[in-house]
Chains A and B, each alone.
Chain A
């Protein structure tokens, strides 16, 4: 069975690009476009991995992450925080809240992202 990845990202272009790439590599994709719906969709879809953007309208990524770790269904799901916030405090905070990894979108290519996902879901 194909592994499922949930993409939580508010930018439409990046979201569709990532989704297309993931599908091409054989992953099943679920998407959430903002923080509020993210947790609900996660619980509903039960993904094997979550790509979480931090800068989201309304409820921000940190909040989503916190709730993910509090929910029985999603508390052990690997989360790659996937953002353009690159400050030390942000990285520390994310790691502290239970993120498995932190990637700065502008510094990595999609290939690197896929590689990371593959490694975690192996």
Chain B
């Protein structure tokens, strides 16, 4: 709304500005006409009158100018319409007066009425120019008719006058009026479209500013949260490290006296410090067994601490001869498997394997855990077979499969769903072998997934288990 009112004011100012020029032009025309008049019929329009009219015109234009500026300063935009109307009205009166004074309808004066019509295109919309046009036509005709009676010297017959002058003039002005109106409408339309666009853009800008502020607020909130989380994370890491250290230190400290107790019990029970009767032996044996249990628990705790540390560690990838790694792990278990008379075999592919990029320490742990489990949970005289399968070595994403197969107690259906969970141990496993943290598979799967590989198994309770690992040959570039 404000935009269109401002536009109206600027239109008025333009008209006022133009007027300075054209009233000077009219003054000049006046002098010329006068000169012409003097030559022909001796009638003189006093130059003083001309100058007086000019001065009056200047005066009125100045008043309009002051009014326009006042409106601009004080923002009294309701007065814009009034200003426009008074400008047009004043002009019409002036022009009528001049035409009357000159009293020569063959002069250029009627044409001067185009000026207010053009102005009305700028100052008003559709109907304005039509009205001004009609008025102009009307005023011209009035003067014409009055001239017949007032200036009898120029007397002519009415009807020829009407047909040859009034009618054409009226028709011409009506046509001009409609043309001017449609032009005004076009300009106004354009003007309004522009204003609407500007206002829309202003709304957009406001919306965007609001959005921007909200985003800033959210960004600040996020930053604060990030700082909070970083601090929390640091605290957590410190806590984890402290916990691990505590467990490690304590278990080491506990182990020393536990070893001493164990040895003492052992020596006494074996009658190395003197003979015992059956009862003494029995009780001391119980003491020894209890000590063993405590030692086992302490060992487990130590394992938990070390696994916790590993859980957060990064992988240290290097190219490795996988077969060498596997063989060294299998070697570690020769004693264990021999003591249970379990046949431990490795089946490797006929072709040499390429170097496999992996973290040797972590993968060693996984292999140790699987083979340890296989031997642990297989009763005496069973078999544990480790197979390296290179079927997928020549594919787009080359990988090897490692299968650890045993003839052990197997994993029950219910337990299969939970076997990879942290600390989970199947019931039949606990019964068969009390020792165990329930962490091996959990950590193992974590390590294998960090190698972008996969770990799964097939098992039947009472028959045996097959654990599968897929290891990609190459790791994606970091």
Contact residues in B for A106 (Cβ distance below 8 Å): 255-256, 258-259, 262, 295, 298-299
| In the bound complex, CA of A25 to CA of B392 (Å) | 59
B256 with A110: CB separation less than 8 A: no
Count of chain B residues with a beta carbon within 8 Å of a chain A beta carbon: 20
Contact residues in A for B295 (Cβ distance below 8 Å): 106-107
Is there a chain A Cβ closer than 8 Å to B183's Cβ?
no
| In the bound complex, CA of A87 to CA of B244 (Å) | 13
Contact residues in A for B272 (Cβ distance below 8 Å): 21, 24
| In the bound complex, CA of A111 to CA of B257 (Å) | 18
Known: A105-B255, A111-B270. A11 touches B260 (CB 8 A): yes
Contact residues in B for A110 (Cβ distance below 8 Å): 263, 266-267
Q: Which of B252, B255, B264, B266 contacts A111 (CB 8 A)?
A: B266
Contact residues in A for B257 (Cβ distance below 8 Å): 13
Closest B residue by C-beta to A109: B266
**Residues 16-56 of chain A: 1 if any B CB is under 8 Å from the residue's CB, otherwise 0?**
01000100100000000000000000000000000000010
| In the bound complex, CA of A109 to CA of B272 (Å) | 13
| In the bound complex, CA of A105 to CA of B257 (Å) | 10
Known: A17-B263, A86-B299, A87-B306. A105 touches B270 (CB 8 A): no
| In the bound complex, CA of A104 to CA of B255 (Å) | 9
Is there a chain B Cβ closer than 8 Å to A97's Cβ?
no
Is there a chain A Cβ closer than 8 Å to B135's Cβ?
no
Is there a chain B Cβ closer than 8 Å to A84's Cβ?
yes
Q: Which of A11, A55, A86, A109 contacts B302 (CB 8 A)?
A: A86
Counting chain B CB atoms within 10 Å of each CB, the highest count among A17, A21, A110 belongs to A110
Contact residues in B for A117 (Cβ distance below 8 Å): none
| In the bound complex, CA of A88 to CA of B248 (Å) | 13
CB distance from A83 to the nearest CB of B (A): 9
Closest B residue by C-beta to A14: B260
B256 with A105: CB separation less than 8 A: yes
A14 with B256: CB separation less than 8 A: yes
| In the bound complex, CA of A14 to CA of B259 (Å) | 8
Contact residues in A for B361 (Cβ distance below 8 Å): 88
| In the bound complex, CA of A82 to CA of B332 (Å) | 19
| In the bound complex, CA of A111 to CA of B264 (Å) | 11
Closest B residue by C-beta to A16: B260
Contact residues in B for A14 (Cβ distance below 8 Å): 256, 259-260, 263
Q: Which of A13, A21, A85 contacts B267 (CB 8 A)?
A: A21
Interface residues in A84-122 (C-beta closer than 8 Å to B):
84-88, 104-107, 109-111
| In the bound complex, CA of A84 to CA of B262 (Å) | 13
**Residues 237-266 of chain B: 1 if any A CB is under 8 Å from the residue's CB, otherwise 0?**
000000000000000100111111011101
Q: Which of B258, B263, B299 contacts A109 (CB 8 A)?
A: B263
B252 with A55: CB separation less than 8 A: yes
A84 with B263: CB separation less than 8 A: no
| In the bound complex, CA of A111 to CA of B272 (Å) | 11
Q: Which of B256, B267, B270 contacts A84 (CB 8 A)?
A: B256
Contact residues in B for A105 (Cβ distance below 8 Å): 255-256, 259
Contact residues in A for B256 (Cβ distance below 8 Å): 11, 14, 55, 84, 105-106
- Top 5 closest A-B pairs, CB basis? A105-B259, A84-B255, A106-B255, A106-B259, A109-B266
Q: Could you show 28 A-B contacts with beta carbons less than 8 Å apart?
A: A13-B257, A14-B256, A14-B260, A17-B260, A17-B264, A17-B267, A21-B272, A24-B272, A84-B255, A84-B256, A84-B259, A85-B252, A87-B302, A87-B306, A88-B361, A106-B255, A106-B258, A106-B259, A106-B262, A106-B295, A106-B299, A107-B295, A109-B262, A109-B266, A110-B263, A110-B266, A110-B267, A111-B270
Give residues in A with beta carbon < 8 Å to B. Answer: 11, 13-14, 17, 21, 24, 55, 84-88, 104-107, 109-111
